[in-house]
Amino acid sequence: MRLITAVIFSAALLFGARAFAATPVAATPPMGWNSWNFFADKVSDADVRAAADALVSSGMRDAGYVYVNIDDGWQGVRDANGVIQPNAHFPDMKALADYIHARGLKLGLYSSPGSKTCGGYTGSLGHETQDAHRYADWGVDYLKYDLCSYIQDVMQAQAPRDPDRQMQLMIGAYRRMHAALKATDRPIVFSLCQYGWDAPWEWATGTDIGGNLWRTTGDITPEWDRIYAIATQQAGLAAYAGPGHWNDPDMLEVGNGKLTPAENRAHFSWWAMLAAPLLAGNDLAHMTPATRAILTQRVVIAIDQDPLGQQATRAYADGEIEVWTRPLQGGALALAIFNVGSDRHAGSHPMHLSLSRLGLKSGQPAHDLWSNQVVTLVEGMPIAMQRHDVMLLRIDAPVAALPPR
Ligand code: GLA
Q: Is 118 in the pocket of ligand 1 (CB under 6 A)?
A: yes
In terms of domains, do 261 and 383 share one?
no
Is the pLDDT reported for residue 29 higher than 70? yes
- Centre of ligand 1 from the C-alpha of residue 147, in Å: 9
Is the pLDDT reported for residue 403 higher than 50? yes
Q: Which of 259, 285, 304 is the last residue of a domain?
A: 304
Give, for ligand 1, the residue of 142, 146, 151, 214 to mutate: max count of ligand atoms closer than 8 Å to Cβ.
146
Residue 403 in domain: no
Residues in the chain: 405
Which CATH number does the domain housing residue 77 bear? 3.20.20.70
- Residue 176 belongs to domain spanning: 24-304
Is the pLDDT reported for residue 8 higher than 90? no
Residue 7 in domain: no
Q: Strand 382-383 to strand 364-368: parallel, antiparallel, or no bridges (unpaired)?
A: unpaired
Q: Is 71 in the pocket of ligand 1 (CB under 6 A)?
A: yes
* Model pLDDT for residues 180-190, shown as the tens digit of each residue: 999 999 999 99
Q: Which of 22-31, 94-103, 236-245 has the lowest mean pLDDT?
A: 22-31
Instruction: Work out how many domains the chain is built from and give that number.
Output: 2
In terms of domains, do 295 and 363 share one?
no
* Model pLDDT for residues 307-331, shown as the tens digit of each residue: 999 999 999 998 899 999 999 999 9
Q: Which of 47, 71, 131, 146 is catalytic?
A: 146
Which CATH number does the domain housing residue 360 bear? 2.60.40.1180
pTM: 0.94
* Strand runs labelled E in 174-216: 189-193, 213-215
Q: Is 248 in the pocket of ligand 1 (CB under 6 A)?
A: no
* Model pLDDT for residues 143-154, shown as the tens digit of each residue: 999 999 999 999
- Centre of ligand 1 from the C-alpha of residue 194, in Å: 9
To the query of whether residue 53 is one of the catalytic residues in this protein, the response is no
* Model pLDDT for residues 37-77, shown as the tens digit of each residue: 999 999 999 999 999 999 999 999 999 999 999 999 999 99
Q: Is 193 in the pocket of ligand 1 (CB under 6 A)?
A: yes
Q: Which of 53, 98, 198, 219 is catalytic?
A: 219
- Of 13 and 401, the one with more pLDDT: 401
Residue 15 in domain: no
Q: Which of 304, 332, 349 is the last residue of a domain?
A: 304
- Nearest Cα to Cα of residue 113 among 141, 149, 86, 84: 149
In terms of domains, do 92 and 144 share one?
yes
Q: What is the distance, to the nearest Å, from the Cα of residue 367 to the centroid of all Cα atoms in its chain?
A: 25
254/346 Cα distance (integer angstroms): 22
Is the pLDDT reported for residue 174 higher than 90? yes
Ligand 1 atom nearest to 220, measured from its CA: 9
Q: Is 72 in the pocket of ligand 1 (CB under 6 A)?
A: yes
Given this model, what pLDDT does residue 15 score?
42
In terms of domains, do 217 and 251 share one?
yes
- Centre of ligand 1 from the C-alpha of residue 38, in Å: 12
To the nearest whole percent, how much of the chain has pLDDT over 70? 94
Angle subtended at Cα 136 by Cα 28 and Cα 41, rounded to the nearest 5 degrees:
80
Given this model, what pLDDT does residue 359 score?
97
Given this model, what pLDDT does residue 17 score?
41
Residue 10 in domain: no
Ligand 1 atom nearest to 251, measured from its CA: 9
Is the pLDDT reported for residue 118 higher than 90? yes
Given this model, what pLDDT does residue 9 score?
43
- Nearest Cα to Cα of residue 388 among 204, 212, 234, 259: 259
Q: H/E element holding 113? A: none
Residue 94 in domain: yes
Q: Which of 254, 283, 304 is the last residue of a domain?
A: 304
